[in-house]
């Protein structure tokens, strides 16, 4: 019976607890209120009663001592508890302090981890120190936000990161960090993932960087200032760069003062600046200096000096200078004429991509100038120039394909190249296309298209085009319109226009019937281009005129021949009417 009651009491008692598993607060609670079973309580009561019976009655002094010991132990426990609580509180405060307060060690870790490429740790410490006025920390944060390196995945937001990157770059730049100023200047100059192109903001930051003696920033600043027509400020920066020995700055000063764009031209200053750059081997400056010597801008004209600087620029890699050196050597300007040496300069320029030089070489090989005639080589060089957009080379290719020079004759290929040249546009190509359409060479006959092309060219006063229009109208029996175009061409000395006008005057077609005028026109035509048919026509109408009329017409023809001027760029009569 007693055993069962004990078991029952044990089952009702609280489970035993291991104090090592408890938290600090629970340990303190357990220390004061440790749970005990009912059996322990009964046992404790029995022990106390037994001790009371066995132990003698304590004196007052002994009771006082026991009470003192009890109080001392209690106070010791309370002290220990207070110490523990103080330590815990201090630990919590320190943890909170170190978690929020930035230390010198945090700043050092930010710098060192960023420099070593440990971006995860760098971001942690740099982000913690984000309110510290340290430009390097701002730059590091900006760089990590821009690239995404070290940014926690949960915090990664592309658009927001770009804004934060720009914010921190501007904070770093505002704290006079040159790298940040250059970065912002370049980003606003070119446009980037964090900043759209903005000339005004680019000028702002590049100006800051230039003041810190960053030459590249100053050069870009000058470019933007010139773009914004702030030429005077640009000149100031260029002068400062030039004084520090920058040849590009000296050359740009020479360009500005020689062109007079947005500033009063000053050829003497341009010449001096050009000399400074040319003396340091600046190829473009040497080329410009050659042009100034040649034209007498800022100095006395001196073709020999022009040739010296042009060839120097060519030697320093200027393709335009190589081309100009070829022209001067070919024509004996500033040096003795030497076509073979000119070929060398043209080859150098053509190798550098100069289409004009490639065209020159094609012309030399086609005509055997300074080299042996070689149509295949001519085709090669013409093709090189044409593929670089040179319309004269396209026309030359068309002519060679048309005449079968260096290749099988192909009117279709000739027509193709004339069309390509016309797209540039090119009036000679328009004229050739007009001939192709009117004759059906390489394409179907189309008088309307031919007239369209001839009209465009004739509007420039090109006599062969005016003649072709007159001929088309004549064939359509629109004699008055034909006569009008023939007269335009005749007044420029076109022989066959004169012959047609003579025929029309003799027959009264679009012109008043007049043997006198017919004799005048035929006489001019024969002097311009002697032909048996024209001579027969002269004899025919001459027989119908009196001696006085013949003399008057001949005198008029002589006066006309003194007045007319021939266009050097016009093809010969035989070519235009072929």
Q: Identify the architecture of domain 229-350 in CATH.
A: Alpha Horseshoe (1.25)
Percent of the chain with pLDDT over 70: 85
Res 46: pLDDT: 66
Q: What is the DSSP letter of 264?
A: -
Interhelix angle 391-403/355-367, rounded to 10 degrees, is 30
Q: With contact defined as beta carbons under 8 Å apart, do 491 and 505 qualify?
A: no
Residue span(s) of the chain under CATH 1.25.40.10 come to 229-350, 353-450
DSSP 18-79: -GGGS-HHHHHHHHHS----HHHHHHHHHHHHHHHHHSPPPPHHHHHHHHHHHHHHHHHHHH
- Two structure tokens written together for 169: 């770059």
Q: With contact defined as beta carbons under 8 Å apart, do 208 and 187 qualify?
A: no
Q: With contact defined as beta carbons under 8 Å apart, do 411 and 373 qualify?
A: no
Q: With contact defined as beta carbons under 8 Å apart, do 143 and 179 qualify?
A: no
Alpha-carbon span 282 to 437, nearest angstrom: 51
Alpha-carbon span 277 to 446, nearest angstrom: 58
Q: How far is CA 276 from the centre of its chain?
A: 28
CA angle at residue 571 from 570 to 576, to 5 degrees?
A: 120
204-233: pLDDT as tens digits: 999 999 998 899 999 999 999 999 999 999
161-204: pLDDT as tens digits: 889 999 999 999 999 999 999 999 999 999 988 889 999 999 99
DSSP 400-427: HHHHTSSS---HHHHHHHHHHHHTS--H
23-62: pLDDT as tens digits: 666 656 655 555 544 555 566 566 666 655 555 677 877 7
- Two structure tokens written together for 527: 């002097």
- Residue 253 confidence class, pLDDT cut points 50, 70, 90: very high
- Whole-model pTM? 0.69
Tell me which of 63-72, 434-443, 529-538 is least confident: 63-72
- Residue 83 confidence class, pLDDT cut points 50, 70, 90: confident
Q: With contact defined as beta carbons under 8 Å apart, do 382 and 397 qualify?
A: yes
pLDDT mean over 128-139: 90
Q: Is the confidence at residue 78, as pLDDT, over 80?
A: yes
The CA R_g of the chain, rounded to the nearest whole Å, is 51
Fold of the CATH domain 353-450: 1.25.40
């Amino acid at each position: 019976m007693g055993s069962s009651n004990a078991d029952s009491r044990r089952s009702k008692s609280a489970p035993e607890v291991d104090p090592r598993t408890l938290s600090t607060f629970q340990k303190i609670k357990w220390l004061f209120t440790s749970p005990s079973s009912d059996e322990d309580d009964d046992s404790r009561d029995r022990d106390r009663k037994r001790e009371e019976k066995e132990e003698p009655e304590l004196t007052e002094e002994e009771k006082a001592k026991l009470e003192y010991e009890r109080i001392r132990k209690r106070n010791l426990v309370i002290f220990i508890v207070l110490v523990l609580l103080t330590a815990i509180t201090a630990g919590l405060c320190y943890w909170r302090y170190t978690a929020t307060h930035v230390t010198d060690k945090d700043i050092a870790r930010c710098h060192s981890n960023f420099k070593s490429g440990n971006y995860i740790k760098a971001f942690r410490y740099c982000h913690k120190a984000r309110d510290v006025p340290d430009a390097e920390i701002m730059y590091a944060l900006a760089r990590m936000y821009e690239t995404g390196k070290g940014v926690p995945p949960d915090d990664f937001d592309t658009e927001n990161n770009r804004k934060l990157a720009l914010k921190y770059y501007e904070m770093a730049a505002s704290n006079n960090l040159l790298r940040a100023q250059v970065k912002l200047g370049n980003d606003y100059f070119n446009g980037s993932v964090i900043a759209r192109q903005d000339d005004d903001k680019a000028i702002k930051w590049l100006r800051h960087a230039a003041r810190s003696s960053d030459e590249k920033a100053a050069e870009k600043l000058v470019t933007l200032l010139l773009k914004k027509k702030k030429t005077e400020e640009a000149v100031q920066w260029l002068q400062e760069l030039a004084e520090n020995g920058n040849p590009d700055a000296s050359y740009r000063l020479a360009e500005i003062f020689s062109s007079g764009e947005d500033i009063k031209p000053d050829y003497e200053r341009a010449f001096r600046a050009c000399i400074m750059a040319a003396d340091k081997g600046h190829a473009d400056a040497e080329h410009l200096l050659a042009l100034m010597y040649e034209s007498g801008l800022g100095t006395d004209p001196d073709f020999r000096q022009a040739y010296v600087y042009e060839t120097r620029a060519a030697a320093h890699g200027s393709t335009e200078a190589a081309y100009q050196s070829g022209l001067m050597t070919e024509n004996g300007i500033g040096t003795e004429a030497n076509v073979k040496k000119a070929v060398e300069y043209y080859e150098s320029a053509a190798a550098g991509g100069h289409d004009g030089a490639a065209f020159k070489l094609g012309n030399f090989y086609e005509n055997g100038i300074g080299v042996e005639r070689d149509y295949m080589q001519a085709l090669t060089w013409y093709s090189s120039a044409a593929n670089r957009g040179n319309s004269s080379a396209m026309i030359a290719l068309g002519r060679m394909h048309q005449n079968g020079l260096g290749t099988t004759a192909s009117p279709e290929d000739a027509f193709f190249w004339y069309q390509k040249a016309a797209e540039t546009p090119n009036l000679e190509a328009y004229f050739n296309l007009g001939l192709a359409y009117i004759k059906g060479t390489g394409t179907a006959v189309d008088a309307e298209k031919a007239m369209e092309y001839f009209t465009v060219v004739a509007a420039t006063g090109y006599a062969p085009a005016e003649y072709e229009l007159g001929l088309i109208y004549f064939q359509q029996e629109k004699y008055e319109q034909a006569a009008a175009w023939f007269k335009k061409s005749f007044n420029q000395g076109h022989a066959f226009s004169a012959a047609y006008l003579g025929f029309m005057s003799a027959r009264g077609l679009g012109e008043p019937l007049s043997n006198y005028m017919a004799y005048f026109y035929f006489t001019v035509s024969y002097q311009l281009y002697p032909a048996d048919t024209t001579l027969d026509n002269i004899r025919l109408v001459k027989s119908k005129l009196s001696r006085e009329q013949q003399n008057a017409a001949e005198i008029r023809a002589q006066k006309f021949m003194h007045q007319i001027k021939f266009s050097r760029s016009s093809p010969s009569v035989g070519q235009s009417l072929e």
